[in-house]
Amino acid sequence: MRSRKRVHLSIVLVLLFSLLSPFASLKTSAAAGLDLLDVTEKQDSTVLVWEVANNQGDELINYQLIKNGEAVDIEPVAINEPVENNVQRYSYEDQNVEKNTLYIYEIAAYQSTGEKVVSAPLEHTFVGQQEDVQIKNVDTTEADVVTTNLKVMTDQGSIPRNFEFFIKGESEEDAEDSYFSYGYIDEEGYFLSFDAEARDIELPVGTYRLTTYNYSTDENISAEFTIKSGMDYKKNPIELVFPADKLIIKKFLQVEGTTEQTISIWWEDGNDTEAVEKYLVYLNDKLVEEITDPSTTTYTFTGLTPETLYQVKVDYIYMNGTSESVHAEFSTSAEPTGEVVTFADENLENAIKNQMKIYHRDVFTDDMEKLTYLNASYSEITDLTGLEHAVNLVDLMLYGNQISNLSPLVNLTKLVNLDLDENLLTSLDDLGKLENLESLFVAFNQIEDIRILKEFPKLYHVTLYGNEGLDFSKGSEDFK
């Protein structure tokens, strides 16, 4: 959707301020319990949306907005409809923004124990919506802006929970389509925007689309509507009907990891855990587990035979007496080969075992060669010894640790995305051979020299903020 560009040190600030990496979005859920989801623009402000998981009943208080390292106290707006049990969504409008300026946002709050919780950072370059948005047949003068209510339903009734929607103007140039509002459907079927929390939407006369996304089918579903001058859309809301069969979250069964003796599975809960009584887990048509906690949607089969195909099934048993099933076939792997890998840091070893679902034995070099993705962030890792055997790693996330030595990464030449934010790095020289690197995150370290960036021919996204030894004032060597 967004283009990737080759860059050199001469435009390192473009790298610094880039928001084009899909890898960056993986970081927004790093801090447990407080997840910064999105930053959207209005004409003269940005709107932040975040979620709070309150699984233990300890409500967060005293919220702060951290912007480019500076914290200010804020009063967030609670979005009334919970996303799911114990999860609440909030929004805040930041009106102190300047056009064409990069902002690094974080949300912080305090637990009743006094412990501070901080979301992972989310970057946003504020451009500012143009006042004269190019909409078909729209003259965006004040007289042509109409207060609008949208009532949304399916051809079988109400919209299922947890579908979010956005309104987009049908512009003459598709690439310049402008987002007008982002929100959800309330209990009575009306569209509410996240920023205003109201049914009234101010839209210029013109043609629009209301769109939602079904992640289980990877499909956008939309309905078109037209705003006409002189209409009373509060008294007579615009009614939009979506096909119910397109808004079904399809259940599916996936494998999380396999070894020679185990198969770890995960299944879709369908965002309707309140209706589920229990899950029944089968292996080769034999019931092996009854799970009565509807929020538990993982299971690991143990004691299996190497290189063997197994039939796996999960039955959903609902409170109303109905049921449905998902099933798939998975195979165990062969016995591991090679030598046992020695890790200097137990936290790194545990992170790799968890990633690969290896709970019953040591990690072998054969296992490490199968590893293509690893997220070991916020794991208190200090030493990467042992990771040098993961020669096929493509995505590696290690942010929020205490890593100072990158020498085990020297020969991991297949790495494409590498996240080392919030560590103790003083040098990037050990990364010089990583010619396939496209995204590099090294914010909040102790780096003082970035000339190594010239060695990465495919690099298009870098974060460097928070390295106090770098000088980005105009005319400085680092700026150039």
| 313 CB-near residues (< 8 Å, 6+ apart) | 253, 281, 282, 285, 325, 326, 327
pLDDT given at position 41 = 78
All CATH 2.60.40.10 domain ranges in the chain, comma separated: 31-126, 253-331
Q: Could you tell me which residue, 416 or 88, shows the higher pLDDT?
A: 416
pTM: 0.57
3-state secondary structure 219-270: EEEEEEEEECCCCCCCCCCEEEEECHHHHCCCCCEEEEEECCCCEEEEECCC
- Domain 142-247: state its class: mainly beta
pLDDT given at position 300 = 94
pLDDT given at position 473 = 62
Residue 261 clears pLDDT 80, i.e. is over it: yes
pLDDT, one tens digit per residue, over 212-252 is: 988 878 899 999 999 998 899 999 999 999 998 898 888 88
Tell the CATH superfamily of the 371-463 domain: Ribonuclease Inhibitor (3.80.10.10)
Q: Could you tell me which residue, 434 or 18, shows the higher pLDDT?
A: 434
Q: What percent of the chain has pLDDT over 70?
A: 82
Q: Which fold has domain 31-126?
A: Immunoglobulin-like (2.60.40)
All CATH 3.80.10.10 domain ranges in the chain, comma separated: 371-463
pLDDT given at position 84 = 52
pLDDT given at position 38 = 80
Residue 175 clears pLDDT 80, i.e. is over it: no
CATH number of 253-331: 2.60.40.10
Determine the Cα angle at 456 with ends 69 and 428, to 5°: 55
Rounded Cα distance, 387 and 400, in Å: 17
pLDDT given at position 79 = 74
Both structure tokens of 441: 């995150």
- The stretch 324-330 carries a mean pLDDT of 91
All CATH 2.60.40.1120 domain ranges in the chain, comma separated: 142-247
Q: Could you tell me which residue, 183 or 196, shows the higher pLDDT?
A: 183
Whether 341 and 354 have beta carbons less than 8 Å apart is answered as: no
C-alpha closest to that of 43 among 195, 155, 172: 195
Q: Could you tell me which residue, 250 or 204, shows the higher pLDDT?
A: 204
Residue 118 clears pLDDT 50, i.e. is over it: yes
- Mean of pLDDT over the chain: 82
What DSSP element (H or E) covers 184? strand 179-185
